[in-house]
Structure 1
Amino acid sequence: MAAPLALLLLLGISLALAPPLAQARSLRFVTLLYRHGDRSPVKAYPRDPHQESAWPQGFGQLTQIFVRSTDYDRTLMSAETNLAGLYPPQGQQMFNPNVSWQPIPVHTVPDSGERLLKFPLSPCPRYEQLQKETRHSAEYMNKTRQNLEFLEMVANQTGIQDVSLESVWNVYDTLFCEQTHKLPLPQWVTPDVMTQLKQLKDFGFEFLFGIHQRVEKARLQGGVLLAQIRKNLTLAANASSPQRLKLLAYSAHDTTLVALQMALNVYNGRQAPYASCHIFELYQDNDSNFSVEMFFRNESGREPFPLTLPGCAQRCPLVDFLQLTDPIIPQDWERECQVARDGQDTELIVALAVCGSILFLLIILLLTVLFRIQSQPPGYRHVSNEGEEQP
C-alpha cells in the first residue's frame, strides 16, 4: 500500500506545482452581413412578356415570406425571417402556444439617408470621376468591343434603347427571376445567352468596385462599411467597453457584399446568391489576445468557405487585421469624395480667363468707336444739280 500512496502523493505535488491550464479559446463577437432572400424582379424590360401583373407580390418583393437593414421590404423581411429562425421563443417568451415567434426590432433608416449598407454610395464626385476613368481603361474598352454585337442584340430584343456593360445586369436579373419561378422565357433567351448575360453581369460588379484604382474606390465605398465593422470588433475586444453585444447582423444586398469583399480583396468574381452571408468572428485566444476569422456561406449544403485577408493567416490577429485594412478606411469621406483640381484644370481656367479678358477689351474698344461716331456734329452734304432745268 505504501507504493501507491507515495505515487498518489507525488502526483498531487506535481499537479499543485504545475502551471494552471491555459484558458480555452472563446468566441466573443460575431458580425453577419447577408443578402436578402428570393425575390421577384426589380423591374421588367419594355418587351418583357411578364410585366408586374405576373407577380402577385409586385416587383422587388420576397416570395413566400413576409439587426440593421436597408429600407427595402426584401431586406427587412429577410431580417425578420432570419431572426425568427435564430431566436424562437422559449419559456416566458411564448405569448401564444400556437405561435413559435417573438417580435425582435430591426433598425433601419430611410433610403435617402442610407450611408452604410446601400452601394454605390452617392453623391461622391471623386468616385464618379474614377468610374469615368474606368470606362476608358483597356479592360473595360476591350470587354465592350468583344460584346458589342451581343449587347446590340439584347437591346433589339428587349426594347431597351441603350444596353451597356453597366446596365445589362438589369436584363439578366429579370430573366433569372422569371426562370427561377418557372415562367417561360422568350425564344431568344437560350442557355448560351443566359451564360453570357451572367458573365457580363459579374463584370458589371467588378466595374463598380474594381478594375481601376480598386483601393481608392474601396475607401469611397466598401471601406465605409468596413470602418464600422472594425469599430465594432475593437469595442468587443475592449474589456472596459460598455458594448456587450454578442451578434450584430446587417440585412442588405448583393452590391453590399461585393463592395465589402472588394474592399477586403477577397471577392471571388461572382454575384453573391440569395441569402449568402459574410461572417466575421472575433475570438479571444489562449494568450488573451484577439483574432479575427472570416467565412463566406454561399451554399446551403456545405460549411462556410474560410476567407483569408491578403497578408495574414486565416486566423488573423486583430492588430494585424486592423493594420492591413487601414489603407482602405476613409478618414474623411466627405473630403475624399471631392474632386481635386489638377494642372490641366488650372491651365484651362487661366486660358478661359485670358480669352474672356481679351473679349471684354474688344467689346470696350468697339463701344468706344461707336460712341465717338455718334457724338460727332453732322457735316455739310454736296447736293447734285443734275436734273435741274437750265435757263
Structure 2
Amino acid sequence: MGSKGNKSSVLRSCKSHQKGAFLTVILLLIFFVATACVGFLLMNSSPRVESSVRFVSILHRHGERAPILTYPLDPYKDAAFWADGPEQLLQEGKVTTYDLGQFLRERYGGFLSSRYKAHEILMRSSRIDRCLMSAELVLAGLYPPVGTQIWNKDLPWQPIPVQTAPDDADDIIRVLKPCPLMSKEQEIVNDAIQKKLDENKDLLTYISKSTGLQVETIQNIDDIHDNLLISEQRGFKVPEWAREIYPKKLQELAAINYFQLYDTPLLRKLRSGILINDILDSMWKKINASEKFERRMNIFSAHDTTLGRLWQAIDISEDLGLEKPIYGSALIFELHETSTSKYRVKILYKRGMLDRDMTVLHIKGCEGDPMAHQDGMCDLDTFSSALEPKAFSDYDKECKIP
C-alpha cells in the first residue's frame, strides 16, 4: 500500500513538473513574441536616422487649434465650445506637438546631444500664439532636462529660447513684410480667383444666407470650411445647411485660397525664397571647413500655408491633392555624407502625429540623379542647382524696395 502510494505521489509530482514546464515554455514563447512585436513596432514607429546625417532643417505645422472665426448662425459659436478663444491651440494640439518633439528625439537621439546645447539647435516661429506654443511643446518633447539641467524634479521641462519676428519684419515664415512687387503680382492671381467666385455666385449667396455672414471672398469660404472641419473633428454635428456642400464642394473652393493664391513662379519665389536660402545656406556652411558652424538642426514652427508654399516652390514631385498639411505635419530636409565623402539630401514628409514611418519626397530638379532610385536622396550640388534660382538672401532688394 505504501509502495503504491509512493508511486502515485511520484506520478503526480512528475505530471505537476511537466505541466509547470509546459506553462513555462508557453509563457516564454509569449514573452519572446511580445518582445519581438514591441521591438518591431518601436523600430517602425520612429526609425533612427542614419549615422551619415550631418544637418537637419525641419518645417512643421502647429498643433490642432480652434476655428479662426465663428459665424452669426454657428451652433458652436459659444465660448464654452472653444474655452481658450478663436485660433488658440487646443489640448489635442498640445499633445500633437509634444509628440512631434518626442518623435524627433527618438529619430535624432544619436545625432543631437541628450542635453540641450544652445549652439546645436535654433527654433524659429511665427509670432502667432499657436505657433509659439507649438514650438515650446516640440522643444519640451525634444529636450527633457537631464542631469544638472533638472531644476525641478516634479517638472520634466526646461526653458529653451524660441526666436520670432513681428509681422512687418517676417520675411521667412508668414512673409508679411511689405513687398510692392509681391502686391503687384498678386493682382494677377486675384483676377483669376475673382472669376472663379463669379462662377459660384449662387453658392456664395446660399452660404451667406445659411451662416449670417456676408461671404464675398475666397478667404471667407476658406474660413467657413475651416470652421466646419474643425467642429467635425471635435465630434460636433455638421449643420443641416452644410451637408450638401461639405466637405467636397467647400474643400474644392477653399483649396483655391491655399494652392492658387500664390501660384505664379514669382510669387512662389518671393514667398519662399528666404526660407529656401536658409535651408541651402545651412547645408553649405556645415560642410565648409572654413566656417565654424556648430549648429545641427534648424526648426521652424509655422503654418500649413508655409509648408504648402515651400512644397510648390521647390517643385516636389509628389502631389498634396486638395489636402492641406494636417496639424503637426513636418517637412524635413536631411544632409547626409556618404562613405565616399559626397553629400546628399533627403526630403521627408511626416503627415501628422500618427505617421511614424514618413514619406520620402523628391524634387523635379533631381530627377536626373542616377542614385536617387537607390537611396531616395539627391546630390547636394544638383539639389542646390535646382533650388538656387528660387532662393535669395536680401528681401528688400528682391522686392525692389529702395
Q: TM-score, normalised by structure 1?
A: 0.73
Q: Which structure would you say has the larger Rg?
A: 1
Gap regions ≥5 residues in structure 1: 1-23, 340-391
Partner of 2:158: 102
Q: CA deviation at 1:257?
A: 0.6
2:253 pairs with 1:197:
no
Is 1:306–2:360 an aligned residue pair?
Answer: yes
Q: Would the alpha carbon gap of residues 130 and 87 (structure 1) be closer, same or farther in structure 2, given more than 3 Å must change?
A: same
Q: Distance in 2 between matches of 1:101 and 1:79?
A: 13
Partner of 1:151: 204
Q: CA offsets per residue over residues 73-111 of structure 1, 9 Å max, x none?
A: 111111111111112222222222222222221122233
Q: Tell me the secondary structure at the aligned position of residue 53 of structure 1.
A: coil
Partners of 2:208 and 2:274 lie apart in 1 by: 35
Q: Structure 2 counterpart of 1:60, which letter? A: E
1:61 aligns with 2:88: yes
Shift of 1:302: 4.1
Counterpart in 2 of 1:233? Answer: 283
Deviation at 1:316, TM superposition (A): 1.0
Name the SS for the 2:182 alignment partner: helix
Which residue identity is paired with 2:217?
S
Aligned equivalent of 2:226: 173
Equivalents in 2 of 1:216, 1:273: separation in Å? 26
- Specify which of 181, 186, 201 is matched with residue 126 of structure 1: 181
On the 8 A contact 2:171/2:395 being kept in 1, the answer is no
Instruction: Tell me the equivalent position of 2:32.
Output: none
For 1:96 and 1:89, the matched residues in 2 are separated by 9
Q: 1:293 aligns with which of 328, 336, 346?
A: 346
Name the CA distance, whole Å, in 2 between partners of 1:58 and 1:176: 17
C-alpha change, 1:122 and 1:158, in structure 2 (3 Å) is farther
User: 1: distance between equivalents of 2:60 and 2:161?
Assistant: 17
Aligned with residue 117 of structure 1, among 157, 160, 173:
173
2:167–2:177 contact (8 Å) kept in structure 1: no
The alpha carbon displacement at 1:144 in A equals 3.5
Q: Given the superposition, is the C-alpha separation of residues 174 and 326 from structure 1 closer, same or farther in structure 2, using an over 3 Å criterion?
A: same
Instruction: Give the 3-state SS of the residue equivalent to 1:39 in structure 2.
Output: coil
Q: Which residue of structure 2 lines up, in the alignment, with residue 135 of structure 1?
A: 190
Which residue is 1:10 aligned to? none
RMSD of aligned residue pairs (Cα, Å) = 2.3
Structure 2 residue identity aligned to 1:304? M
Structure 1: how far apart are the matches of 2:55 and 2:162?
A: 19
- TM-superposed CA distance for 1:62, in Å, is 0.8
What residue in structure 1 maps to residue 135 of structure 2? 79
| Partner-residue secondary structure (3-state), 1:293 | strand
Q: Deviations over 1:311-352 (max 9, x none)?
A: 21441111111111122124653344349xxxxxxxxxxxxx
Letter in 2 for 1:47: L
Aligned-partner Cα distance in 2 for 1:46–1:96: 47
Q: Deviations over 1:243-267 (max 9, x none)?
A: 1111111101111111111111225
Deviation of residue 142 (structure 1)?
6.4
**Structure 2 partner of 1:252:** 302
CA contact (8 A) 1:278 1:296 kept: yes
Aligned-pair distance for 1:25?
Answer: 6.5
Aligned sequence identity (%): 33
Q: C-alpha distance in 1, partners of 2:241/2:208?
A: 12
Q: Alpha-carbon deviations, 1:176-205, whole Å to 9, x = none?
A: 222222334422121642222122222221
Q: Aligned ranges for residues 19-38 of structure 1 at < 5 Å?
A: 26-38=52-64
Contact 2:63 2:130 in 1 (8 A): yes
Partner of residue 320, structure 2: 268
Please say if residues 126 and 301 of structure 2, whose CA atoms lie closer than 8 Å, have aligned partners that are also in contact.
yes
Q: Deviations over 1:182-241 (max 9, x none)?
A: 33442212164222212222222112221xxx3211221112211112111111121221
CA distance in structure 2 between the aligned counterparts of 1:25 and 1:289, rounded to whole angstroms:
14
